Structure 1
Amino acid sequence: MKLTKNIKTNAIQVLQKEANAIQNLINYIDDDFVACVEAILGSSGRVVITGIGKSAIVANKIVATLNSTGTPALFMHAADAIHGDLGMIQKDDHVICISKSGNTPEIKVLVPLLKRLGSKLIALVSNVESYLAEHADYVLNATIEAEACPNNLAPTTSTTVHMAMGDALAVCLLEARGFSSQDFAKYHPGGSLGKQLYLTVADVIPKNLVPVVKEDALLSEIIVEISSKRLGATAVVNQSNKLLGIITDGDLRRMLLSGADIHQVKAIEIMTKNPKKISQDEFAIKALNLMKEYNITQLVAMNGDNIAGFIHIHDLMKEGIV
């Protein structure tokens, strides 16, 4: 029991220390940060991010975030840079060097070489009095009081705040570029996220048959139509094929419980008027949100004033966006 209590306490302390450190970053969003964002925006080059050890891992993550939000970026390992990888840097690139201390041997070797290339150097450091910070054109201040590690050794808080500062930089660039959700979709075509951003209702409904009955259809025809199309519902239209309502399995059960004459009842008498519908041009994720809002499992998809089909929650589940 004591061990369990200690584990919980230690975990909470780690998260609290890291949360406090991120909160403290607000104090370091200064003129250098603004100038750094403006410099990258005004450049025709890319952002090259370098580091060593855990900083290299953080650099890879920031590179991925920048690339996915409209800012071309590359990773260059600080150790490999002096063995040929400096060749990837072009004259208009900005180089972000990540280092907690800013004084590691690899960084001290690399900085003069970067300056000689004429690259603008951005230091993402936790020590603003370091060699790296002193020689950088811009400094992203990620100072911390201590690591979350009880020995103040393992990179924990420092890597967390470096990553958070990278997120702040990426989002500021995204906002300044006017990077939209449609732009985001271009870089994320795969998986559920991509489908939420590009899959439309029209992409889904061709897979379904369209259940439709006339307003004067009898119960037997209604049941056959609902059963054969396997969507748990049918649209009800007038003689001009304009949508009047919808009949679901639930409507049939309520009709039977009401004691209505099953031999005489017509579609128009048991349908739900003004059914929930959606344009076929809308994103499929909007259809899902409407289903959740109204606690229903299908929507009538419309092409203008005409029925284009049905979209069912099972369609969205198959597409992987539920």
Structure 2
Amino acid sequence: MNNKNSIISTAKQTIKTESEAILNLSHLIDEDFADAVQLIYNTKGRVIISGIGKSAIIASKIVATLNSTGTPAIFMHAADAIHGDLGTILKDDVVICISKSGNTPEIKVLIPLIKRAKNNIIAITGNKESFLGQQADFVLNAFVKKEACPNNLAPTTSTTAQLVLGDALAVCLLELRGFSSSDFAKYHPGGALGKKLYLRVLDLSSINEKPQVYKDTNIKNVIIEITEKMLGVTAVVENKKIIGIITDGDLRRMLSKVDDFSQLTAQDIMTKNPRCINEDAMAIDAMEIMETSGISQLLVEKNGNYAGVVHLHDLIKEGII
């Protein structure tokens, strides 16, 4: 077996091992999981998530997921907690401790301190009979038969299982809260994902020029309008209503067919009934129309009247595409 085949085989086996372990998790979901979700949903406090080693890294990711989906959460490293950071935990907070073995020294020191403060503890562990499993109020079973590591040592499958259980918690809480896409956008205003959820056509078209001609406008003036407004297009309007569209492409096709266009007007080369979009529509909807129709510009309407143009470049600039 050559080196490339060996690499491919190992990669496939790693994915197979982890996918089988994740599938098995669905059989381990029980009433403790449901009770843990209800506990978090009903708490007046936050969710404090702690772990050690690789589990601490997973804890940080779960914290980020919960925060972005409407459940306030804070990461607390288990080692730091027993050396001064225990004050992070407030009266009404729920604590989630993550540990594959459930018997690490830091966890054994941390758990009694949390219980003394009477905070509820949720364990994510692969060993329900461990110290953590026995001391926790609720146990989320993250048992895996083996790690993907050929030596069955490096945390691989086990940390994936922990992460998946964290995602399952977040999604259940999201649904209980009725957390919508608009809510999601409030927590993600800066990135491309947030822009897809809150950016509207008006936000883009309002910063563009508003090219327009009338059906009897001569071709020379049509060309001037398209050139000056620099959007590669102009609307053809009548009584403020859109009756057609002329693009750079329409002009090129016209020039390839006629030698003398001095007598032509906008209505002779315009495309009637063009695709349009309301200015209150989401920018992502404009993108879908452009992709489906194979076009680069969309005419924008407000209350049925011509309101401007949104261009494919606007969407690219905002990172939506």
Interval of TM-score (by shorter of Structure 1 and Structure 2) = over 0.9
Aligned residue identity for 1:38: Q
State how far apart, in whole Å, the 2-side matches of 1:37 and 1:112 are.
Answer: 23
SS, match of residue 216 in structure 1 = coil
What aligned pairs does 1:192-207 form with structure 2 within 5 A after superposition? 192-207=192-207
The match for 2:236 is 236
SS, match of residue 67 in structure 2 = helix
The match for 1:87 is 87
The match for 1:316 is 315
Q: TM-score, normalised by structure 1?
A: 0.97
What aligned pairs does 1:1-322 form with structure 2 within 5 A after superposition? 2-238=2-238, 240-259=239-258, 262-322=261-321
Paired residues, number: 321
State how far apart, in whole Å, the 1-side matches of 2:65 and 2:291 are.
Answer: 31
Q: Runs ≥4 in structure 1, deviation > 6 angstroms?
A: none
State how far apart, in whole Å, the 2-side matches of 1:207 and 1:134 are.
Answer: 61
State how far apart, in whole Å, the 2-side matches of 1:260 and 1:235 are.
Answer: 24
The two structures, once aligned, show a CA RMSD in angstroms of 1.3
Larger mean CA deviation between 301-310 and 116-125 belongs to 301-310
Aligned residue identity for 1:91: K
State how far apart, in whole Å, the 1-side matches of 2:281 and 2:259 are.
Answer: 38
State how far apart, in whole Å, the 2-side matches of 1:256 and 1:2 are.
Answer: 60
State how far apart, in whole Å, the 1-side matches of 2:316 and 2:233 are.
Answer: 18
* Contact 2:49-2:76 at 8 Å conserved across structures: yes
SS, match of residue 108 in structure 1 = helix
1:41-79 deviations in Å (ceiling 9; x for gaps)? 111111000000111110000000000100000111111
Q: Which runs of 5+ in 1 are unaligned?
A: none
Aligned residue identity for 1:142: A
SS, match of residue 27 in structure 2 = helix
Aligned residue identity for 1:297: S
Q: Percent identity?
A: 60
Kindly state the Cα deviation for residue 208 of structure 1 after the two structures are TM-superposed. 1.4
SS, match of residue 96 in structure 1 = strand
Kindly state the Cα deviation for residue 254 of structure 1 after the two structures are TM-superposed. 2.7
